[in-house]
């Protein structure tokens, strides 16, 4: 049995908005396909070997928790960049997404250092951007899919001019409420504000990440047979309808 090695960074700090559910979905979908998941919690001060994991996950947190782990995460920037450069899939959600940029500036003016994986920075705004959000993505050339989720953030994330967003906003706010884009992608590393959690409503993305984790482990990308995702598709549809009810913003 192939064992996929997943590194979960700071689960004791970055764990709000049910983001642990993303790990549960990955583990369950892996098991349904005859794969094992070896989960390692990586906390403050723990070593991070860029070759040790097949997938890395960073969840969301409040400003207080982000401030507690930001220096430690920033110090891992070289290891995270090295992992991403070799094709290790990374999923960073909300606060984790912000801290994988260059910096996050809080409303107080305090600037938290970032790991520099994503070419972006984030500055807290006065008003929170809250609600269901729907994206259109193209992670594979010519294959457009939708992502549905929930956003709740005051941060305005600005991508560099040459950065690749995760998707185009169909309804909702996205990175900054202005650009029409949400998230960021660098190879197999994905950052997004979508949580609540993200993967139960978007099983295709869970499988996208799993396939690349298996490829990282074995050198070959698997071709997964479809699963009976009736409940997952309904969850996606409900979230997408709520987002569309808010109205397209871009």
Catalytic positions:
94, 195
Q: Concatenated DSSP letters for the chain?
A: --EEEEEEE-TTTS--TTTHHHHHHHHHHHHHTT-EEEEEEE-TT----TTS-SEEEE----HHHHHHHHHHHHHTHHHHHHHHHTT--EEEETHHHHHTSSEEE-TTS-EEE----SSEEEEEEEEEEEEEEEEEEEEETTEEEEEEEEEEEEEEEEE-TT-B-SEEEEES-TTTSSSSEE-EEETTEEEES-BSSSGGG-HHHHHHHHHHHHHHHHSS---PPPP--HHHHHHHHHHHHHHHHH----
């Amino acid at each position: 049995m192939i064992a996929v090695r997943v590194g979960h960074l700071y689960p004791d700090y970055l764990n709000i908005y049910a983001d642990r559910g993303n790990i549960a979905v990955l583990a369950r979908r892996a098991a349904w396909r005859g794969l094992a998941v070896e989960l390692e919690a990586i906390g403050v001060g723990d070593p991070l070997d860029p070759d040790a994991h097949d997938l890395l996950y960073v969840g969301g947190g409040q400003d207080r928790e982000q401030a507690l782990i930001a220096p430690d995460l920033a110090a891992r920037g070289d290891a995270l960049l090295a992992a991403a450069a070799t094709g290790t899939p990374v999923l960073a959600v909300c606060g984790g997404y912000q801290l994988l940029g260059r910096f996050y500036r809080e409303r107080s003016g305090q600037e938290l250092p970032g790991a520099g994986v994503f070419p972006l920075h984030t500055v807290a705004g006065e008003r929170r951007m809250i609600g269901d959000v729907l994206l259109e993505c193209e992670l594979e050339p010519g294959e457009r899919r939708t992502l549905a989720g929930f956003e709740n953030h005051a941060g305005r994330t600005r991508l560099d001019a040459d950065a690749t967003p995760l998707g185009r906003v169909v309804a909702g706010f996205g990175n900054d409420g202005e650009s029409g884009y949400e998230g960021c992608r660098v190879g197999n590393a994905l950052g997004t504000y979508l949580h609540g959690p993200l993967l139960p409503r978007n099983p295709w993305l869970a499988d996208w990440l799993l396939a690349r984790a298996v490829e990282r482990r074995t050198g070959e990308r698997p071709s997964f047979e479809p699963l009976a995702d009736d409940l997952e598709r309904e969850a996606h549809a409900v979230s997408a309808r709520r987002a569309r009810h808010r109205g397209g913003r871009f």
